[in-house]
Amino acid sequence: MTTQLEASSPYTSVPRSGMFRSMWNTAPRGTLELANGFMAALHTYVPYGVECSLTLPHEGDSRADAILDARIGGENVAFLLNTKSGDTPDGSSSIAPQRRDLEVPVALARYLSPTARSSLTRAGWSYWDTTGNVRLVSESPLIVIERQGAQRDPDPSQAGAPRQLKGLGGAATARVMVYLLTQNFAPSVRELADRTKTSVGTVSRVVALLRNENLLTATGSDSIRIENKMDLIRRWVEDYDFFAANNAARYRSPLGLDGASMAIERNLETATYAYSGLEAAKRWLAVFTPSRTFELPVTDRWLYVTSPVLAEQAASLIPDRRGDIVLATGDFLNGGVNEEGSNDRARLRSVWAWRVAADLMSQPGRHAAMGEQLAEVLAAKGDRLWTSPEK
């Protein structure tokens, strides 16, 4: 069933009574609203006019939730619209549906994050969201439309399920993210909760958010597998801030950087402190890329400690917003076997390398650049880093 577009309205007028309503009721909730929004937007992208008509796919054709037949510049094209309630189309992390000539698969959503958009593009999809992010690409007919809308969800409360995680900025979430990035197997939600000493509820919400944003690969079971580690960490640091998440504070010490470090190492138990930041990043990079040297000077030292008070005493630390010694709360350092903690693999008592990368990437300037560099090396090496035998 099709309805010709009326010249005075950019929207397809689809009768909502009788059999038509029942047909649209079989489509995922929100499909019509999104499709109408997409059509309206299409008219703004194509200044010389476009004719549209919206239909449902034939029974048995699972390639789309709705089909928008359009005539653009004398060429016919069928947009295969794929939607889902929530942010991202279901299964869109998989390869775009097989298409025939003059067909363009398009993922529609209320909001698509930068990571989701990147993932969709790699999988062969075009996309559109209500904030104005759009990428419509087709070779036949030739269509190239690309615009940028919101970079953050303007209304996270609409994202879907109740008590949905609003972001990935917390310390508990950080433990989950570090573990996901570091391990090379796919744990279940419960196993992940046990290993990170995080509630099942929190882990579930983190996993749900990541699945909504196409950052996890569907495994067909309750196990979790990351689609792309670089996408994951970049998404994480959109919300995560090393200082805010870990109650980090800056200090200065009369002992200077080197002297303060030595004093802490000399006076604190090994399991109660661990480095992050530039110093740790340089050491980790030296481990994984020994043929390269890194000249970036370490202008501040970041340490996770289980007791900031003891560290302050050991190194005579004086609170100073411009100080070059940073102490962060590291409750996870008390972790047991198979849990996150610290190790000496980098020839420095350091937190796990992915945490170092995220801590740095969450800050501006060369800290972020160094973190990005470390993350890329870790992603490429795919090394199994957790559980040091000497822990």
Q: Which stretch binds other proteins (CB under 8 A): 92-100, 229-237, 248-256, 350-358?
A: 248-256
Q: Which stretch binds other proteins (CB under 8 A): 119-127, 153-161, 234-242, 257-265?
A: 257-265
Task: Burial-class residue 213 by CB neighbours within 10 Å (0-12, 13-18, 19+).
Answer: buried
Kindly state whether residue 201 participates in binding other proteins, applying the rule CB under 8 A: no
221: amino acid identity, one letter:
S
Q: Partners of 146 in the beta sheet?
A: 135
What length does the chain have?
Answer: 391
Closest distance to other proteins from the beta carbon of 259 (Å): 3
Q: Which stretch binds other proteins (CB under 8 A): 27-35, 254-262, 342-350, 378-386?
A: 254-262
Among 229, 252, 283, 301, binds other proteins (CB under 8 A): 252
Closest distance to other proteins from the beta carbon of 88 (Å): 49
Alpha-carbon distance 39 to 10, whole Å? 7
Helix (H, G, I), strand (E, B) or coil at 15: coil
- Kindly write out the interface string for residues 263-282 of this chain, putting x where it contacts other proteins by CB under 8 A and - elsewhere: x-------------------
Q: Which stretch binds other proteins (CB under 8 A): 69-77, 250-258, 329-337, 354-362?
A: 250-258
CA angle 218, 224, 228 (to 5 degrees): 75
Closest distance to other proteins from the beta carbon of 285 (Å): 16
DSSP state of 14: -
Kindly state whether residue 46 participates in binding other proteins, applying the rule CB under 8 A: no
Q: Are strands 318-319 and 126-129 parallel, antiparallel or unpaired?
A: unpaired
Kindly state whether residue 286 participates in binding other proteins, applying the rule CB under 8 A: no
Kindly state whether residue 259 participates in binding other proteins, applying the rule CB under 8 A: yes
Dihedral of CA atoms 188, 193, 196, 202 in degrees, nearest 10, equals 120
Closest distance to other proteins from the beta carbon of 258 (Å): 3
Closest distance to other proteins from the beta carbon of 215 (Å): 40
Kindly state whether residue 257 participates in binding other proteins, applying the rule CB under 8 A: yes
Task: Identify which of residues 252 and 367 has a Cβ nearer to other proteins in the complex.
Answer: 252
- Kindly write out the interface string for residues 305-334 of this chain, putting x where it contacts other proteins by CB under 8 A and - elsewhere: -----------x------------------
With tokens 């008219």, the residue in question is 43
Token couple for 115: 């990571």
Alpha-carbon distance 57 to 78, whole Å? 11
Q: What sign does the dihedral 252-254-257-262 (CA atoms) show?
A: negative
Among 256, 309, 334, 384, binds other proteins (CB under 8 A): 256
Kindly state whether residue 6 participates in binding other proteins, applying the rule CB under 8 A: no
Alpha-carbon distance 22 to 46, whole Å? 32
Q: What element of type H or E holds 375?
A: helix 366-381
Residues of the shown chain interacting with other proteins in the complex, contacts defined by CB under 8 A: 252-259, 262-263, 316
